[in-house]
Amino acid sequence: MTTHPPLLAARDLKKHFTIKGGIFSREVDRVHAVDGVTFDISAGETLGLVGESGCGKSTTGRCILRLIEPSSGQIWFQGQDVTRLNGEALRAMRRDMQIIFQDPFASLNPRHTVGGIIGEALVIHGLAKNRHELDDRVAHLLETVGLLPDHRHRFPHEFSGGQRQRIGIARALAVQPKLIVCDEPVSALDVSIQAQVINLLEELQEKFSLTYLFIAHDLSVVEHISDRVAVMYLGRVVEIAPARELYDNPRHPYTEALLSAVPIPDPRLKRKRIVLQGDVPNPIRPPPGCHFHTRCPIAEPRCSQEVPLLERSSEGHWVACHLRR
Ligand code: SF4
């Protein structure tokens, strides 16, 4: 889907969680969290992955890192199928792919100093020869994310939310990854702090040639940082396009509805708000055909029978809709 060979390619990725019940603990149902997701990310690119909560975007990010095992599909990273890696090869891959979590407080061990938290990955991957070098590298990483070297002696609770997210970023950077999955990294932060953290991520991308999968539930958050944006609904990607193209020319009715809720900075311009009827359907029994047909303002009878494939609409712009191509 991109013009350069991708650093990461997800192909028909699925994650179905089994629900067990009864005295024999048999499978009684299945949550279709990720239901056939395909996308590429080129080296140095940021792909924004957007959708309402429960649409499967965080599960997609965790499957890519093998923090949870995909049910099926392939994940190609630097020419290797990540789903087939084990042992030392999986450990080496994990050094190249890191994650920044949504809740910086919950993701930092409260009993460890900041130095211990950031240094742990350096120790695990043998990236510091001795105590002195470990100390130096942790101090340098803290400076890189805008904190002070002396902060390494403090504990997570002594920092603000924005500072804790900077610690999470320093931990991810410690092993010099190529790709970072940013899983809603600013959602838990005040609006005033969000821009600072996004600016920092952009600076670090430039400095270290990083590639990001940037997950968010809000299109306005990913607008400035993303080169391309993929929109997910109930486990499927429904639209993917270069960021500017997606914001100026959305094709999928769901993307249009999401975009209609994004405020426009110029008060003279007005956008008609599209309010979707009903709730997101239960992912245990997603609607047949197009998952969006129960809420789509332009649905036709065939939408509830035929699954729309993700097809090319224009250069780099892909849409899964029977009526909008
Ligand atoms: Fe709406 Fe049908 Fe397109 Fe789905 S396929 S988004 S229901 S028009």
CATH number, domain at 184?
A: 3.40.50.300
Residue 3 inside a domain? The answer is no
Which ligand 1 atom lies nearest to the CA of residue 304?
Answer: 7
Residue 2 inside a domain? The answer is no
Residue type at position 189: L
- Tell me the per-residue pLDDT of 298-320, one tens digit each, with 9 for 90 and over: 999 999 999 999 999 999 999 99
List of residues 6+ apart from 87 with CB closer than 8 A: none
Q: Which of 323, 324, 325 to mutate to test the pocket of ligand 1 (most atoms within 8 A of CB)?
A: 323
Q: By alpha-carbon position, which residue is closest to atom 5 of ligand 1?
A: 321
Domain around 200: 8-319
Q: By alpha-carbon position, which residue is closest to atom 3 of ligand 1?
A: 321
Inter-CA distances, 164 with 106, 120, 121, 145, Å: 10, 16, 17, 11
Out of 18-22, 148-152, 251-255, 299-303, pick the least confident.
18-22
* Number of domains into which the chain is organized: 1
Residue 325 inside a domain? The answer is no
In angstroms, rounded to a whole number, what is the distance separating the alpha carbons of residues 222 and 214?
A: 7
Residue 324 inside a domain? The answer is no
Global pTM reads 0.93
Which ligand 1 atom lies nearest to the CA of residue 291?
Answer: 4
Residue 192 inside a domain? The answer is yes
Pocket of ligand 1 (CB under 6 A): 252-253, 290, 292-293, 296, 298-299, 303, 308, 321-323
- Tell me the per-residue pLDDT of 25-55, one tens digit each, with 9 for 90 and over: 888 888 989 999 999 999 999 999 999 988 9
Q: Which of 298, 302, 307, 309 to mutate to test the pocket of ligand 1 (most atoms within 8 A of CB)?
A: 298
Residue 189 inside a domain? The answer is yes
Q: How far is the CA of 241 from the centre of ligand 1 (A)?
A: 18
On the question of pLDDT at 3 being above 60, the answer is no
317's enclosing H/E stretch is: strand 317-319
Residue 12 inside a domain? The answer is yes
